[in-house]
Amino acid sequence: MEVFEARTGGATILRIVGRVDSSVSKLLEERVQVLIARDDHIVVDLAGMTYVSSAGLRSFIMLAKHARDRQRAVALAAMQDGVSEIFEISGLVELFVIRGTVDDAVAALPR
Amino acid sequence: MTPSPPCRADGPPAPLPVPADRPSGSSPRSLGAWLALNLLVLVVYSVLGVVIVLFGIGPAKISPIYPPSGIAFAATAILGWRVLPAVFLGQFLNGFPLLQVPGTTLSMYTLANIGTGIGGILEASLAAVALWRVAGTSYPFERPRQVVIFLLASALGPAIVGGTIGTLSMWACGFVPAKEFWATLAFFIFSDASGIAVFGALVLAWHREPRADAKLVGVSLGAIAGIVLVGLVSAWTRHPIFFLYLPLLLWAAFGGGPRGVTVAATAITAVALVTTSYGVGSFVGRTPEESVLLLVIFISVMTFTGLVTVAVLAQRRQAELALEAYNRQLEQRVAERTAEVAEKNRQLEEKQARIDEDLRTARVLQASILPTDFSAYRDTDIAAAMRPALEMSGDFYDVFPLDGGRLGLVVADVSGKGVASAFFMAVTRTMLRNAAQGGLAPADCIVRVNEALCRENPVEMFVTAIYGELEQATGTMRLVNAGHCEPIVVRAGGAAELVRRAGNPPLGVLSGRKFAESAVTLGAGDTLFLYTDGVTEAADRDGEMFRVARLLEAVRPLAGRPAKELMLSVIAGVESFSAGALQADDITCLAVRRNRV
């Protein structure tokens, strides 16, 4: 897994590339903590995320919970089909704003 | 070395006239005592004045040293202004040789000696004040700086004042011819200055600590004997061996401190003076004046050397004492800190031991709330296991009977591991059991638990869980999967299939939400296998995970086998897969086989 960060008007774009499983979920959670502390809205670009395990899903749930506590929105963008299915059957789609592209996701964030 | 003075070492000098706290030995407040004190000073002053004349050099009986000046200075410095009458009178009377000068009248004599007496008072007072104010002490032997100030400000300076006044008075009254004025002035000043330097120092040094120990007495007597011997030899052989006084002086300084060195300096002065007055020894010049000059220079150099030596020694000793004290303090601090650290360590170890003990107890407690004996269930074959990755686990399973021959089955995984997760697990388990035994349908049980966890969740935890209700008679099962791993149904015929999730989120994440149920029917010999992600995400040494695909492969050959056999086989498969890698997550399995009827 690799994580890249960029900022655009009021939002942080987090690009995750590779597999997110238990071996890296801790790392992702730490990155997420730092991001949340910054009080930005967050767009996660998942175009490069090929797999997410249940431990990886936990990191996303943490992200959603922390963001909600601080009234920040989290949008997931450009999910691959397999990943999208995992989010759906896990019942996590309700936690996030989900859009097909990063631009749409940024546009969907509250101003 | 002498200890610090009890009353004053440094710091601002006492106001003048001298206060009673000065170590005067007695407090002569009455007139009688005052008279006695003055008489004593007068006698010492006069005796020394007479004796020194006996050893005067040349027909004019001039001397390189005038001991009464030292006595007057020391008496004033130690006893205060009240001894000044004795100083005046002593100086007045000591002028008696002037009476022998032809043509002297009593009035001239009186006038001249009133002048020298006033000079003597001024000299002694100035010298005492300079000692207190400039050197800042009445014991100027502890720093080289004090010695230099003492010699310049208390000896030379006041001697110039006293000598000038005295010489002028004698000249004015006709006792000093004009052509001898400058020579007389010079010798007056020299002799007064060396008197203060040698005898003043002697009295000040001994006044501070009059009792001498055996070593000091030995060193002093030894130095005197050596000095006398050197004097005799130099007188006998007429060789200039005066430099031999130096080692004796230094010996007295090292062995006897200020008291020893002042005794030696006085002895050297006396021996040099006596031998010279007899016209022998190393200091006999071509004229008496030359002899006196040589003696003055020699006495000054000896006194300066001796006093500076003891001052340097005292200073070094003080530095050593300070260093020792500092070292002691440092060692004590280190010892204290070491003890503190040891104590802290002990407390920490104690605390750690207590925590370990608590954890062991908690683990036993946690394990004990999980059911292990399933022999009471006749229609269903059940096996379950939990392997925590840490001391405390966040996983749990549960099996409990419900009304109408139904069976409650739970496998859950609390986010995180350790003590907090274990608490959360216990709370969740109890809530779920209460809800189920209260007769609620599976989806309603889960909703109730979800609401409770959303409401009372201070630590941001959540639980993925499967709760199923198995009707043992028919094999129908209603289950709710809240964000948990998909269970596997192993058909008796050898097929293995996943029970797909219905899109429910984990518990404790979203409140106000409905949860969807799934339905499964177990035929005779079919097994439902529930597990946590510790199974599918167990990693081997290269980080490759076990995954659902391997799990399905692992259970297929065990179709129809007893629940325990299937479960143990799965665990063994996972363990051999991840052999050599650290167990990252708790591993929990629950296998439920419907028996053939």
Span A55-68, pLDDT tens digits = 788 888 888 888 88
**For chain B, what is the mean pLDDT?**
87
**Touching check for B58 and chain A: CB below 8 Å?**
no
Write the burial class of residue B93 (CB in 10 Å: 0-12 exposed, 13-18 middle, 19+ buried): middle
Residue showing tokens 């004090």:
B146
Other CB atoms within a 10 A radius of the CB of residue B270 amount to 19
Are B415 and A23 in contact (CB < 8 Å)? no
Which residues in B lie closer than 8 A to residue A64 (C-beta atoms)?
Answer: 509
Q: Is B11 left (phi over 0), alpha (psi -120 to 50) or beta?
A: left
**Predicted confidence band at B20 (pLDDT cuts at 50, 70, 90)?**
very low
Rounded to 5 degrees, what are φ and ψ at B480?
Answer: -120, 125
Cα angle B32, B14, B209; round to 5? 70
- B308: pLDDT strictly greater than 50: yes
Task: Return the top range by mean pLDDT from A6-15, B230-239, B522-531.
Answer: B522-531
**Predicted confidence band at A51 (pLDDT cuts at 50, 70, 90)?**
confident
Rounded to 5 degrees, what are φ and ψ at A73?
Answer: -100, 145
pLDDT of residue B259: 94
Write out the residues of chain A at the interface with chain B, using a CB-CB cutoff of 8 A. Answer: 21-23, 53-55, 57-58, 61-62, 64-66, 69, 88-95
What are the contacts of B127-133 at 24+ separation with CB within 8 A?
Answer: B127/B73, B127/B76, B127/B77, B127/B154, B127/B155, B127/B157, B127/B158, B127/B196, B127/B200, B128/B73, B128/B76, B128/B77, B128/B154, B129/B16, B130/B154, B130/B157, B130/B158, B131/B77, B132/B13, B132/B14, B132/B16, B132/B77, B133/B13
- B15: pLDDT strictly greater than 60: no
Which residues in A lie closer than 8 A to residue B539 (C-beta atoms)?
Answer: 22-23
- B12: pLDDT strictly greater than 50: no
Which residues in B lie closer than 8 A to residue A86 (C-beta atoms)?
Answer: none
Tell me which residue in A23, A92, A95 faces B539 most closely, judged by beta carbons: A23
CATH 3.60.40.10 domain span(s) along chain B: 373-594
Tell me which residue in A61, A69, A89 faces B462 most closely, judged by beta carbons: A61
Other CB atoms within a 10 A radius of the CB of residue B24 amount to 17
Are A90 and B536 in contact (CB < 8 Å)? no
| Residue of A27, A57, A89 for testing the chain B interface, max B β-carbons within 10 Å | A89
Please tell me what DSSP assigns to residue B561: S
CATH code of A92's domain: 3.30.750.24
Write out pLDDT tens, residues B426-454.
Answer: 889 999 999 999 989 999 999 999 999 88
Write out pLDDT tens, residues B246-260.
Answer: 999 999 999 999 999
- B562: pLDDT strictly greater than 80: yes
**Touching check for B503 and chain A: CB below 8 Å?**
yes
Are B483 and A95 in contact (CB < 8 Å)? no
- Least-confidence region, from A51-65, B124-138, B209-223, B330-344: A51-65
Q: Determine the average pLDDT of the residues in B274-300.
A: 89
Are B460 and A66 in contact (CB < 8 Å)? yes
pLDDT of residue A9: 74
**Predicted confidence band at B597 (pLDDT cuts at 50, 70, 90)?**
low
**Touching check for B464 and chain A: CB below 8 Å?**
yes
Are B533 and A92 in contact (CB < 8 Å)? no
Are B501 and A61 in contact (CB < 8 Å)? no
Are A94 and B485 in contact (CB < 8 Å)? no
State which residue of chain A sits closest to B454, comparing Cα positions. Answer: A65
Cα–Cα distance, A110 to A99 (Å, whole number): 14
| Residue of B413, B486, B537 for testing the chain A interface, max A β-carbons within 10 Å | B537
- B356: pLDDT strictly greater than 50: yes
Token pair for residue B553?
Answer: 């492969």
Are B483 and A53 in contact (CB < 8 Å)? no
Write out pLDDT tens, residues B496-536.
Answer: 999 988 889 899 888 888 999 999 999 999 999 999 988 98
Write out pLDDT tens, residues B93-117.
Answer: 887 776 777 777 888 888 888 998 9
Pick the CATH number of B373-594 from 3.60.40.10, 3.40.50.10360, 3.40.640.10, 3.30.1360.70: 3.60.40.10
- B303: pLDDT strictly greater than 80: yes
**Predicted confidence band at B167 (pLDDT cuts at 50, 70, 90)?**
very high
Separation in Å, CA of A10 to nearest CA in chain B: 26
Which residues in A lie closer than 8 A to residue B484 (C-beta atoms)?
Answer: 54
ipTM over 0.85: no
- B296: pLDDT strictly greater than 70: yes
- Count how many domains chain A has: 1
Other CB atoms within a 10 A radius of the CB of residue B413 amount to 31
Q: Determine the average pLDDT of the residues in B468-495.
A: 93
**Predicted confidence band at B390 (pLDDT cuts at 50, 70, 90)?**
low
- B10: pLDDT strictly greater than 70: no
- B420: pLDDT strictly greater than 80: no
pLDDT of residue A43: 92
Residues above pLDDT 90, as percent of chain B: 56
- Three-state SS for B389? coil
More confident residue, B184 or B136: B184
Q: Which domain holds residue A104?
A: 2-108
pLDDT of residue B4: 38
**For chain A, what is the mean pLDDT?**
85
More confident residue, B42 or B174: B42
More confident residue, B535 or A85: B535
Tell me which residue in A22, A88, A95 faces B510 most closely, judged by beta carbons: A95
Tell me which residue in B415, B484, B505 faces A95 most closely, judged by beta carbons: B505
